[in-house]
Amino acid sequence: GENVEQHPSTLSVQEGDSAVIKCTYSDSASNYFPWYKQELGKGPQLIIDIRSNVGEKKDQRIAVTLNKTAKHFSLHITETQPEDSAVYFCAATHTGNQFYFGTGTSLTVIP
Amino acid sequence: EAGVAQSPRYKIIEKRQSVAFWCNPISGHATLYWYQQILGQGPKLLIQFQNNGVVDDSQLPKDRFSAERLKGVDSTLKIQPAKLEDSAVYLCASSLVHSGNTEAFFGQGTRLTVV
């Protein structure tokens, strides 16, 4: 099955700085890569996703890049704010399959 | 649009007792997932339904866990008997079609503590 690795496990940044979280996957058949934000006591919330026919996608302060050849994808958050503090999970899947999640990154934005 | 509803939010039981969790997916979503999330880890799939049929239950500990999705809508997940290592958050998610290319939306989860 698919194996998704995520780094770093913890990340602290100053408010206004950028944050980058990286994930790698093993199954070349994976073609959909969502990112989830999980706040304390809540379920994961989809914040952005990318499909394998696209190399980059941006939504306001959040962007995701995908390198299919190297089998890695990254989440970029610019101009971080305290409300960005949460645990972020990457995931990978392909048609008809389950979602495989990374181990999570705990992001702390220091005011 | 209402989200994925789960109940209860919290449950504390003693080991060897039984417990059941309930999930109501987003209306019209054919695919339903149950994930187990142990503290500090990413969610891991327990079972995946397409309508009322099981797509993948390879990681479900079938000696103690069971799940059903009658009529292809609501679902229940049961643990009997519970073990200490079952302490986790149980997340239900749903997606529109059985494609893997469609977004999965998660409920708030049920936090289970086994003592």
- Residue A83 in 3-state DSSP? helix
Residue B100: band (very low, low, confident or very high) from pLDDT cuts 50, 70, 90: low
Percent of the residues in chain B that have a pLDDT greater than 70, as a whole number: 95
Cα R_g (chain A), whole angstroms:
13
Whether residue B8 has a cis bond before it, omega within 30° of 0: yes
Interval B2-23 mean pLDDT: 96
In this structure, the number of other CB atoms found within 10 A of the CB of residue B103 comes to 12
Confidence (pLDDT) at B2: 79
Nearest residue, CB atoms, B100 vs list A89, A94, A104: A94
Interval A5-23 mean pLDDT: 98
Residue B96: band (very low, low, confident or very high) from pLDDT cuts 50, 70, 90: confident
Whether residue B81 has a cis bond before it, omega within 30° of 0: yes
CA distance A50 to A32: 6
Residue to mutate among A45, A98, A100, A103, with most B CBs inside 10 A, is: A98
Confidence (pLDDT) at A47: 96
Nearest residue, CB atoms, B106 vs list A44, A97, A98: A44
Residue B107: band (very low, low, confident or very high) from pLDDT cuts 50, 70, 90: very high
Q: What is the mean pLDDT of chain B?
A: 92
Q: What is the mean pLDDT of chain A?
A: 94
CA distance B45 to A100: 8
Q: Does residue A97 have a pLDDT over 90?
A: no
Confidence (pLDDT) at A82: 96
In degrees rounded to 5, what are phi and psi of residue B102?
Answer: -110, 145
Which residues from A are below 8 Å from B36, CB to CB? none
**Which residues of A have a CB under 8 Å from any CB of B?**
4, 6, 31-32, 34, 36, 41-46, 49, 51, 89, 91, 93-99, 101-104
As given in the structure block, the two tokens for residue B49 are 């339904």
In total, chain B counts a number of residues equal to 115
Interval A102-107 mean pLDDT: 97
Nearest residue, CB atoms, A43 vs list B100, B101, B107: B107
Q: Does residue B24 have a pLDDT over 80?
A: yes
- Closest-CA residue in chain A for B59? A98
Smallest CA-to-CA distance from A42 within B12, B91, B34, B36 is with: B91
Please check whether residue B80 is in contact with residue B28, taking contact to mean a CB–CB distance below 8 angstroms: no
Which residues from A are below 8 Å from B104, CB to CB? 34, 46, 99
In degrees rounded to 5, what are phi and psi of residue A66?
Answer: -135, 130
Smallest CA-to-CA distance from A86 within A108, A55, A66 is with: A108
Interval A18-47 mean pLDDT: 95
In degrees rounded to 5, what are phi and psi of residue B14?
Answer: -90, 155
- Judged by a CB distance cut-off of 8 A, whether residue B33 touches chain A is yes
What sections of chain A are H helices per DSSP? Answer: none
